[in-house]
Chains A and B, each alone.
Chain A
Amino acid sequence: MYNINVPMFSDNLEGVIDLKNHKFMWLISIMLVLSVFLAACGDKKDDAGTTEPVKDKEEDKGTTEEPAKEVAQVLNLIETAEIPSIDSSISEDAVSFIVLNNVMEGLYRLDQDSLPVPAMADGEPEISEDGLTYTFKIRDAEWSNGTPVTAHDFVYAWQRAVDPATGSPYGPYLMAGMVKNATEIGEGKAEIADLGITAKDDKTLVVQLERPVSYFLSLMSFGTFLPLNEEFVTAQGDKYASNAEAMIYNGPFSLSDWDGTGNWKYLKNDKYWDADTVKLDEIVVDVVLETATGVKLYEQGKKDRVVLSAEYAMQFAEDPDVVNELEMSVFYFKMNQMRDGKATPLANADIRKAIAKGYNKEELADAVLANGSIAANYLVPQEFTFDEDGKDFRDYSSEFSAYNVEEAQALWTKGLEALGTDKVTLEILGGDTENAKKQQEWFKSELERNLPGLTISLKEVPFAVRLELDDTSDYDIQSAGWGADFQDPISFMELFVTGSPQNKMNYSNPAYDKLIESTKTTYAKDPIKRFEVFAEAEKILLEDDAAIAPNYQRGRMALMNPAVKGLVTHPFGGDYSYKWTYME
């Protein structure tokens, strides 16, 4: 019995095994083949293999020219983060501002050249002689629910943003010292209704400023200043902007398929006043965190654009689909002069200057970052602000603390003598992302090699922790960065005046403070002179004092489907506009 049963037993199972086994053997062989493939061929061959077929298809499309073939006006995009909040009073992050820029419209909008043009404002405003009163006419336009957009919507939105109870990160920050009474409201010395914005009637909006602000109109495209319909917002209460239906829109698109988290879509907003310009019917946005996955989706034609991380940027550098975009973010070292009540070695100007000149920024940008970033010997970014003739602010200023080992070493020796030592240990505080760590390692080796006697210790922490250490000035050197909030050099230059919440490195130079102040008062209405003063201040900050050491201006490298036309990128506020985008 036993002997008979057992073979039977196996015979019966063998059928099953054979079937299963084929699959498993197949799987194993695939794994083995793949591991060899991946290890030996390297990445480049891979890409050639996978990208080419896609390209061929595209070229075919271009050359065959089927008669009057309608291309679906659908754009497929990737975001690397979800939407935290598109309540315009509360928004504070890049993704939210991109969405707001495309579903809402302020008094002004940035055009294809990123210049502010009247949007909800019907033509240029009337500006009083003293530059303090702006009178806007509001265009005939409707919200997506059919109610008209009026001057009251702006008054409500601004008051809501400045109200301390709203907890708006940008409202009081942007309005204080600019819009009349905003500072007083923040201090509880004035009523919210006293804010310098009034609706004369449904179509006339009057804004009163504390001081003339040359960049005021470009600021009007910023998320915080977008209109909000009081009736709708109060009716929604806490639920306002918590999902696509709990919002109304006055911009080129309306949001759809968004339940508060995850992916979303934009649909063309037929109620938009300039709907004729908008060509896209739909934009599908999926949140994809892995660049690898994003690239695969792009290569399969499922997505029309993917922003590349450093390792992919290097790999695709020669790809014809690559687009390079310069961001308006500058990264620099903050050098703390006083830690725990004691002067740090960085209180010595020669030591600071030596460090600022002591590493090769070109190498950092090209070899370490390799994502389209460029070396920066400045604080105010390139291609960011322009005078009336379109001349870049950088042409007014020059380059400071460029890499120079001989000078750095001479300054270093001088500094060490003044300190009466031959060995200095400094801590670099930085982020804990892969990319940040790679940079910090590079800084350490580069500085230690170029400046004898210097030992660098690295402290790599999450963002929130870095902010806390920054707040208490608990670091020697901090690798930090800043992105523009609005199109004016002051967005960067103001960071390092005495007592600024961004200073926190115990730097103070009354001459610098005075120059920055004068751009708001004496020269507020003289754009050319203002730029010259900023240039002078930049020289003090970077060259005379070497208070900070600029590292690089961040770049962005993306793969973009050549059929996508008119996708506009902006230097600040919402990074992209899809209003003029179409598929060819």
Chain B
Amino acid sequence: MAKYITKRVIYMFLSLFLIASFTFVLMKLLPGSPLASASKLSVEQREVVYEKYGLNDPIPVQYVRYMGNLAKGDFGVSFQYKNADVTTLIVKKLKYSAILGAQALIFGTLIGIILGMIAALKQNTVWDYGSTIIAILGISIPSFVFAVLLQYVFAVWLEVLPVGLWEGWKSSILPSIALAMGPIAIAARFIRTEMIEVLSSDYILLAKAKGANWFEIAFKHAFRNALIPLITVLGPVAAGLLTGSLVVEQIFAIPGIGQQFVKSISSNDFAVIMGTTMFFSVFLIVIILIVDILYGVIDPRIRLSGGSK
């Protein structure tokens, strides 16, 4: 296990290196200048500013220096927020996005699992169709439509939750639910399909024959096996939440990272673009690693360390 994780961590750094290099190249290809009012600066002044940020050096020199700083965990300073340290900037904003993302993922998966199980256990009944409808709605309606809908119902109409802004945990409820619709739908579909398949397999019949009670059959035998494919898709689902949160945060006026990322691209804020990309990459890679480790926990048949003797 330890060996496996070490190997994965090495791969992780390799991926990050490639992502950073690729992002660097793309950034340099972006048209425009990072200076917001470049037209107001004289040529001499522009030179001074470029010099200050090291933008005058040849691209390879910039690349080496940038990667060096990155290795030290220094993302540099923002152009958009004059002289603001990018790491601090991202960490501050990431807090809100992380809360929303985590809540949506946990809530969404749990509800999805419940819906999926209900649908599977009560196959071809009204419960099944109901949960299927919810799943289809969840997957086909984008999260920002739900966001506006929830905002209208609970904040404007019923006035039980805030319309927007960050006023503590209460403010996170609606955006989290809006974001959770995707995970709910995906989890419900996967669990339903898998459960139905597993429930009709021989070992379930065996378990029943053995006299195992319904609880054991549903949870110990069927559910655990049905979880594997769901866990596989959790990584991409988490990634989807990151992009979804961008619009949802805007609708609920949550000061998260999403908007920041978009703005940094349109204003050529190199340091913030790179910083956010790296944070997102690390996040995704770690999630994927966790998912792979979870496989082993859920299904002992999957051996992570590999290498049979």
Shortest CB-to-CB span from A236 to chain B, Å, is 11
CB of A288, distance to nearest CB on chain B (Å): 4
Query: Does the CB pair B92–A262 fall under 8 Å?
Result: yes
Which residue of chain B has the shortest Cβ distance to A463 in the bound complex?
B266
- Which of B10-18, B20-28, B153-161 is near enough to bind chain A? B153-161
Q: Are B92 and A167 in contact (CB under 8 A)?
A: no
Encode contact with B along A83-96: 1 for CB under 8 Å, 0 otherwise: 01101001011000
**8 A–B contact pairs at CB < 8 A?**
A10-B122, A31-B149, A84-B80, A90-B82, A92-B40, A289-B259, A290-B251, A293-B253
In the complex, B202 has a CB within 8 A of chain A: no
Q: Which residues of A contact B163 (CB under 8 A)?
A: 293, 296-297, 300, 302
B45 touches A297 (CB 8 A): no
For chain A, residues 1 to 41, give those with C-beta under 8 angstroms from any C-beta of chain B: 1-2, 5-6, 8-10, 12-13, 16-17, 20-21, 24-25, 28, 30-31, 34
Q: Answer whether residue A50 sits at the interface, using C-beta atoms and an 8 A cutoff.
A: yes
User: Do A261 and B37 have beta carbons less than 8 Å apart?
Assistant: no
Q: How far apart sit A333 and B46, CA to CA, in the bound complex (Å)?
A: 27
Residues of A near B37 (CB, < 8 A) are: 92, 169
Given contacts A5-B208, A186-B45, A297-B165, contact A12 B156 (CB under 8 A): no
For B247, the closest partner residue in chain A by CB is: A290
**B40 touches which one: A24, A173, A186 (CB < 8 A)?**
A173
Q: In the complex, are the beta carbons of B164 and A471 less than 8 A apart?
A: no
* With A12-B214, A84-B80 as contacts: A24 and B250 at CB distance below 8 Å: no
A212 within 8 A of B: no
Residues of A within 8 A of B33 (CB): 464, 467-468
Question: 8 Å CB contacts to B: which residues of A434-490?
Answer: 462-465, 467-468, 470-471
Taking CB as reference atom, which chain B residue is nearest A87?
B82
Report Cα–Cα, A5/B266, bound state, in Å: 61
How many whole Å from B191's CB to the nearest CB in chain A? 14
Given contacts A17-B118, A464-B30, 19 further A-B contacts (CB under 8 A): A9-B121, A16-B114, A28-B134, A92-B40, A93-B36, A172-B41, A259-B92, A261-B89, A290-B251, A293-B251, A296-B163, A296-B164, A297-B164, A462-B266, A463-B32, A464-B32, A465-B32, A471-B39, A501-B40
Min CB–CB distance A233 → chain B (angstroms): 13
Q: Helix, strand, loop or mixed for chain B's interface?
A: helix
B82 touching A9, Cβ below 8 Å: no
Report the number of A-B residue pairs with Cβ-Cβ less than 8 Å: 171
Q: Say if the beta carbon of B52 comes within 8 Å of chain A.
A: yes
Beta-carbon nearest neighbor of B148 in chain A: A292
Interface members, chain A 292-333 (any B CB < 8 Å): 292-294, 296-297, 299-300, 302
Binding site for B on A (CB under 8 A): 1-2, 5-6, 8-10, 12-13, 16-17, 20-21, 24-25, 28, 30-31, 34, 50, 82, 84-85, 87, 90, 92-93, 164-165, 167, 169-170, 172-173, 176, 186-188, 238, 242, 259-263, 286-290, 292-294, 296-297, 299-300, 302, 462-465, 467-468, 470-471, 501-502
Please, which residues of chain A bring their CB within 8 A of the CB of B133? 28
For chain A, what secondary structure do more than half of its interface residues adopt (helix, strand, loop), or is it mixed? helix
- What are the residues of chain B within 8 A of A262 when measuring CB–CB? 92-93, 255
CA A9 – CA B163 in complex, angstroms?
42
Closest CB of chain B to A502's CB: distance in Å? 7
Residues of chain A contacted by B149 (CB below 8 angstroms):
31, 34
Check: B252 CB closer than 8 A to any chain A CB.
Answer: yes
Closest 4 CB pairs of A and B: A464-B32, A85-B82, A9-B214, A262-B255
**Chain B residues whose CB sits within 8 angstroms of the CB of A294 once the complex forms:** 253
Interface 1/0 per residue, B220-246 and A, CB below 8 Å: 000000000000000000000000000
A293 contacts B88, C-beta separation under 8 Å: no
Q: Which of B35, B44, B255 contacts A263 (CB 8 A)?
A: B255
Q: Is B268 among interface residues, defined by CB-CB distance under 8 A?
A: yes
B residues adjacent to A (C-beta < 8 A): 30-33, 35-42, 44-45, 48-49, 52, 80-84, 88-89, 92-93, 114, 118, 121-122, 127, 130, 133-134, 137, 148-149, 151-153, 155-156, 159, 163-166, 208, 211, 213-214, 217-218, 250-253, 255, 259-260, 266-268
Shortest CB distance A431–B (Å): 11
Expressed in whole angstroms, the Cα–Cα distance for A187 and B251 within the complex equals: 48
Q: Is the CB of A501 within 8 A of B39?
A: yes
**Which B residues are CB-close (under 8 A) to A261?**
81, 84, 89, 92-93, 255, 260
Residues of chain B contacted by A6 (CB below 8 angstroms): 214
Chain B residue, CB-CB nearest to A259: B92
In contact, B32 and A468 (Cβ under 8 angstroms): yes
Q: Do the beta carbons of B32 and A34 come within 8 Å of each other?
A: no
A6 to B199, CA, bound (A): 12
Point out the residues of chain A lying under 8 angstroms from B89, CB to CB. Answer: 260-261
Q: Which residues of A contact B48 (CB under 8 A)?
A: 164-165, 167
Distance (Å) between the CB of B143 and the closest chain A CB? 14
Give the chain B neighbours of A2 by CB distance below 8 A.
208
Q: Which residues of A contact B81 (CB under 8 A)?
A: 82, 84-85, 260-261
Which residue among B39, B153, B267 has the maximum number of chain A CB atoms within 10 Å of its CB? B39
Residue of B nearest to A237 (CB): B83
Which of chain A's residues have a CB closer than 8 A to the CB of B214? 5-6, 8-9, 12
Q: Chain A's nearest CB lies how many Å from the CB of B149?
A: 6
Q: How far is the CA of A296 from the CA of B147 in the complex (A)?
A: 14
The interface residues of chain B lying within 8 Å CB-to-CB of A25 are 130
